[in-house]
């Protein structure tokens, strides 16, 4: 499977898991299309909506290693060795950076202006992320949301096993 196919399969897996999460809360999600961008056009609780997915990694080496391992069209690049200093703080900064990129992305602005607010799902890929770190990241992202427009009516973070956490 090449990198593009892996990205598509990853996004569709996240969307299926998000659908199950919402249904467990008594909500409904019907996935209509995968235009990219956004990553999905959906009907959420009977209303049209869109979903964008982004992922945050503990570092570039980790991201390259993780994504190259699964792809057939690139050579595997193992993560370098070394010590990680302040992993919680560094990772929180990376999460904020990927979310800020989504707020700044022109194609997301265009979708928001044409179709209204959507949902942002943020993957947390770090071996150092547990419940305490997720709680802190949710608080940090809630503050980021308050500094921006309403292009994301809902925002969630999720971990590697697709547990979802609402960012208020």
Higher pLDDT, 126 or 140: 140
**Does 87 have pLDDT greater than 60?**
no
State phi, psi for 123 to the nearest 5 degrees.
-80, 135
Torsion angle of alpha carbons 65, 39, 33, 138, nearest 10°? 100
pLDDT class for 9, splitting at 50, 70, 90?
Answer: confident
State the pLDDT at residue 65: 46
> How many beta carbons lie within 10 A of that of residue 134, not counting itself?
16
**Does 134 have pLDDT greater than 70?**
yes
CATH (residue range 3-167): 3.40.1350
């Amino acid at each position: 499977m090449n990198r593009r196919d892996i990205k598509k399969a990853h996004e569709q897996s996240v969307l299926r898991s998000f659908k199950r999460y919402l249904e467990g809360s008594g909500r409904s999600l019907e996935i209509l299309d995968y235009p990219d961008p956004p990553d999905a056009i959906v009907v959420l609780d009977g209303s049209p909506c869109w979903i964008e997915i982004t992922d945050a990694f503990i570092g570039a080496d980790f991201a390259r290693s993780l994504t190259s391992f699964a792809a057939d069209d690139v050579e595997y690049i193992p993560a370098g060795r070394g010590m990680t200093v302040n992993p919680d703080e560094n990772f929180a900064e990376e999460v904020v950076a990927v979310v800020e990129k989504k707020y700044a992305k022109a194609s997301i602005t265009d979708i928001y202006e044409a179709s209204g607010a959507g949902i942002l799902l943020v993957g947390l890929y770090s071996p150092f992320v547990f419940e305490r770190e997720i709680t802190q990241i949710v608080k940090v992202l809630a503050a980021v949301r308050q500094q921006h427009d309403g292009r994301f009516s809902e925002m969630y973070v999720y971990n590697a096993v697709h547990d979802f956490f609402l960012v208020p």
